[in-house]
Chains A and B, each alone.
Chain A
Amino acid sequence: MKTIAFVATFIFLCSADAAEVTYDRLVHAQGNSSEWLTYWGDYGATHFRDLKQINDHNVGQLRLAWLFQTGSQGSNETVPLVANGVMYLTTPDSGVDAVDARSGRRLWHYQYQIPKDAKYCCGNLNRGLAILGRKLYLLTPDTRLLAIDTRNGSVLWNVEVASAAGGAYGGTEAPLIVKDKVVLGTAAGDFGIRGFVDAYDAETGKRVWRFWTIPAPGEKGNETWGGDSWKHGGGATWMTGTYDPQLNTVYWGTGNPAPDLYGDIRPGDNLYTDSVVALDADTGKLKWHFQFTPHDVYDYDATETPMLVDLPWQGKMRKLLLHADRNGFYYVLDRQTGEFLMAKAFLKQTWAKGIDEKGRPIRIPGLDPTAKGTLVCPQCAGGTNWMAPSYSPLTHLYYFNVREGCDVFYSKPPAYKEGTSYWSTSVRAAASERQGGRVTAMDPLTGETKWKFPLYSSPWAGTLATSGNLVFAGDEDGYLMALQADTGKLLWRVNTGNRVVTSPITFELDGKQYVTLPSGGVVLTFALP
């Protein structure tokens, strides 16, 4: 009799719906410390959490809570999502794991099989997922968008984003959910593609809009490309953008023009490469753009995070966009209008005298790459790059990893061939300038450095700020470290055994705060004893 009653109860409960990740939860992700629902952790990409169980007094006791072996090798650039106590993460070869966030135990695994005949640009790399409702969204290396069931990892649909027939295009980034759409971009700028930002219906996978980062003839901006050079202009969109729900605007960074180091083929400013584009979230129409490096010849992609913060600018609250660019300058823009407010170099740079009052760099002549080589700072991979910066509303500081050093840039005119790289030769590290780095804390309104923590190697890892007066940062030599947020003092470190090429996240479950960082083939999660 007891058994029958139990079965009846059970069946009755079956009709309840699982807690689903709604758009509203994404909008309020910053205030939800038990989850990490987007690649950047919040729509503005402040990469900050109001969590202080782990703080500058006790972080020295931080220890491994669990470690998850993905069984996959390669450059582990994923940023896990945490929703309803489950962690969702990707592997470089487009595997997806659902892992219990409390214990690290696997709940399910999905492996995307890249078709044997697929051609794509950029190798096997993946930076993570997006989540909405009971779907996860995965952009694959061969540029397909998959919807995957959060409950069991089964594929709900699989659509083509861009034709990879010629071997160009490629997908590496985590998509961004904007209302009922999945917004994403493409890699492969250096394969002479024409970049775009796409939006897909989150329910069906049908494309809703596309914004081309290179305008076609007849469209505004095409006049910034000499001849037919726009056709292979690059302008890839290989990092996740940000979104302002109130302004209904999506912000996306664009990559370099192609060929990267040789500009004579493409006279003009080459819009909208090396820019941030502000797009209408419903239509994909361009609201405004700001180009950081017009007519780039150094491969200074502007795909670094367009961070959205509201701060008092000269005494008046303004909706700002903060951006530390690969070209070595830190910028503040008004994100409503695109107005340039200020720029300041954050490391040694030798290619510009400065930035004029409209935000345009004042170029130093005679520094274009040549066949014999030209020494320019910052290095080709940039003064910073795609790794997450952070902003703490408590310290009012902007934290980011800086890549110091210079390169000798070599250039020769290349020939375009579909499906192959459209480089224009290469760079070599300048022997005179050591390629190191530092974690930097900066006043976001002035660009003044508040403190620096030196790193031996140029980092590819991001930062995470918390209200525990901490900044977590990774480095190229495998360390995850905790620095005191207001002073930069090192309080804790552990070597993960592999280069860190992603950014740490934090969340709290059952009153316990965790810090998670993928590194190599593992995902490490730390907590206090």
Chain B
Amino acid sequence: MRCAVLALSILLVPVMAQDLATGEAIFNVNCAFCHGTDGSGGRGPNLRGSLRSGNLDADIAKVISNGIPGTAMPKFGLEDDELKSIVMYVQSFRKAAPAVVPVEGDPRAGKRIYEAQGCSRCHEIGNQGSALGPNLSRAGVARSYEYLKTSIVDPSIDIPAEYEPVRIVTQAGKRVQGVWVNEDSFTIQIRLPDESFASFDKQTLKEVAHEKKSTMPAYHLAETDLKNLLAYLSSLTGDTNTTETQKEQRAR
């Protein structure tokens, strides 16, 4: 009996080491695209530190398995041992991370900059603004600080596929600009600056250009203003895709 226990414990050690490596491999393939290879975030939130959806193994596993509805976080159908490995890997760098440095700047001043710069003409927070550009309601939790900063200073560095700018010239010479929505060999659909959709038969077009330059201009703000704006964006954690739950009205 004792022999058996001993054999088991010898086996366990290499299995666990293997788990961490497996977790890293799965993370690099599936998660790093949004969360960064070191988990510090990018298009997706920073995972180094306290997590919004919970810090327990079970919390992390749940988010990976179910995704977060209404956000860009999809669900991943992993085998049990794969899931355990990836949770272990996330915990390894999360716990090792230094305490979160508080964001500098004044969010209230940043909100005024957001308004003064007319950001809502292309972006939406809550129900206010335009659907042309990315919705910023959860910018503070959905994007890392560095990513937000780059998006303001040099927005063309990373243009999400769903916001790709398109420039169209019709056979008649009419120029139309918008954001790519859907396309096939014969037609293209774009969102116009007034937020409405437009569809074109490619036979009627002279040119369809998928722009590499973001629709959004680069903003050169004073350092304090930039910090304040980033502080404001970092403070946004609301979820637009679920309800602002109204008081439920029960049937009499």
CB distance from A37 to the nearest CB of B (A): 16
B246 on the A face (CB < 8 A): yes
Interface contact A204-B246, CB-CB below 8 Å: yes
A107 on the B face (CB < 8 A): yes
**Residues in B whose Cβ lies below 8 Å from that of A106:** 182
Q: Mark B63-74, 1 if CB is under 8 A from A, else 0.
A: 000000110000
Interface contact B217-A105, CB-CB below 8 Å: no
CB distance from A170 to the nearest CB of B (A): 13
**Residues in A whose Cβ lies below 8 Å from that of B70:** 154-155
CA distance in complex: A154, B69 (Å): 11
CB distance from A203 to the nearest CB of B (A): 10
Interface contact A105-B189, CB-CB below 8 Å: yes
B249 on the A face (CB < 8 A): yes
**Residues in B whose Cβ lies below 8 Å from that of A206:** 246, 249
CA distance in complex: A157, B246 (Å): 8
B215 on the A face (CB < 8 A): yes
Stretch in A11-19, A272-280, A313-321, A442-450 with 4+ CB within 8 Å of B: A11-19
CA distance in complex: A444, B163 (Å): 53
Interface contact B193-A157, CB-CB below 8 Å: no
Interface size class of B (residues with CB under 8 A): 35 or more
* Contacts of A168-213 to chain B: CB distance below 8 A: 169, 196, 204-207, 210
Q: How many A-B residue pairs have CB under 8 A?
A: 105
Interface contact B250-A160, CB-CB below 8 Å: yes
Interface size class of A (residues with CB under 8 A): 35 or more
CA distance in complex: A206, B135 (Å): 26
**Residues in A whose Cβ lies below 8 Å from that of B181:** 107
CA distance in complex: A11, B131 (Å): 13
Given A10-B177, A158-B243, A206-B246, A152-B131 contact (CB < 8 Å): yes
A156 on the B face (CB < 8 A): yes
**Residues in B whose Cβ lies below 8 Å from that of A490:** none
CA distance in complex: A169, B183 (Å): 41
Interface contact A10-B193, CB-CB below 8 Å: yes
B220 on the A face (CB < 8 A): no
**Residues in B whose Cβ lies below 8 Å from that of A100:** 182, 187, 189, 197, 199
CA distance in complex: A204, B70 (Å): 21
Given A14-B122, A85-B197, A105-B189, A155-B248 contact (CB < 8 Å): no
**Residues in A whose Cβ lies below 8 Å from that of B132:** 14
CA distance in complex: A85, B181 (Å): 14
Interface set of B (CB-CB < 8 Å, partner A): 69-70, 118, 121-122, 127, 130-132, 135, 177, 181-184, 186-187, 189, 191-199, 201, 213, 215, 217, 240-246, 248-252
6 new A-B pairs (CB below 8 Å) besides A86-B197, A105-B184, A155-B70?
A11-B121, A14-B122, A100-B189, A151-B195, A156-B127, A196-B251
- Supply 20 A–B pairs (Cβ within 8 Å), ascending by A: A10-B193, A11-B122, A14-B121, A14-B130, A85-B197, A98-B197, A100-B187, A100-B199, A103-B186, A105-B182, A113-B69, A149-B131, A151-B191, A154-B70, A155-B242, A158-B242, A158-B243, A158-B245, A159-B248, A162-B251
Q: List the 7 shortest-distance A-B pairs measured between CB atoms, nearest first.
A: A13-B193, A14-B121, A151-B131, A16-B194, A18-B195, A158-B243, A103-B187
